[in-house]
Amino acid sequence: MAAPSAPRPPRPRKEPQPLVIPRSAAEEQRLRLERLMRNPEKTVPIPEKLNEWAPRPPPEFVRDVMGSSAGAGSGEFHVYRHLRRREYQRQDFMDAMAEKQRLDEEFQKKLERNKMIAEEQTAKRRRKRQVGAPHPFILFVFVEPGQSQEQGSSEDDEEDSKEEEEKEDDAEEPSFVMGRG
């Protein structure tokens, strides 16, 4: 019933982009970054971590139990072969997971061992600093000519020792710890 009024204007067309085939991984990465930076306000899709593949758990109730009689049908072999393949896959997966867990435990032990070594070295260096000669970067406090040397130095020594302890505590990070980034 309604008469068509004016025809709609055509949609604006996008500019055709030239086809660029990346020749290296660096060039492919550069092209992706350029495409992302064309519209910085647009959110970047970050894919979530895919779940690791895991074999199906063994069935709780097995319907097709193989008989032990000789001369089983020719179709039984294929069923047996599939069951055996799945069981081997499941065992391989369990072995791989056990190996991965063992490697993770070894890595954690190694981290702990490195952390202990770093803490021991830090403690050793701290003892050397406390026992040894004054550090060359420590500034000496000069006493004003009107004050007695003992009076000015005792107050300043207390303040200096507190400041030095605070500075040492701030710098007491282990010198080397793996896994931090």
Domain ranges for the chain, please list them: 74-132, 134-175
Q: Which two tokens stand for residue 23?
A: 């020749």
The pTM of the full predicted model, rounded to 2 decimals, is: 0.43
8 A C-beta contact, residue 89 and residue 55: yes
Q: Which two tokens stand for residue 57?
A: 């758990």
Alpha carbon dihedral 121, 126, 127, 130, in 10-degree steps, equals 160
Where helices occur in the chain by DSSP H, the ranges are 25-38, 74-131, 149-170
Q: Which residues of 9-30 are buried (b: 16+ CB within 10 A; e: fewer)?
A: eeeeeeeeeeeeeeeeeeeeee
8 A C-beta contact, residue 141 and residue 160: yes
The CA-atom distances, in angstroms, between 151 and each of 3, 28, 73, 134, 145 are: 105, 72, 107, 21, 12
8 A C-beta contact, residue 20 and residue 31: yes
8 A C-beta contact, residue 37 and residue 67: no
8 A C-beta contact, residue 118 and residue 177: yes
**pLDDT of 158 above 70:** no
37 or 75: which carries more pLDDT confidence? 37
Residue range 17-61, pLDDT digits in tens: 788 899 999 999 999 899 889 888 988 888 888 888 888 888 788
Residue range 86-127, pLDDT digits in tens: 999 999 999 999 999 999 999 999 999 999 999 999 999 999
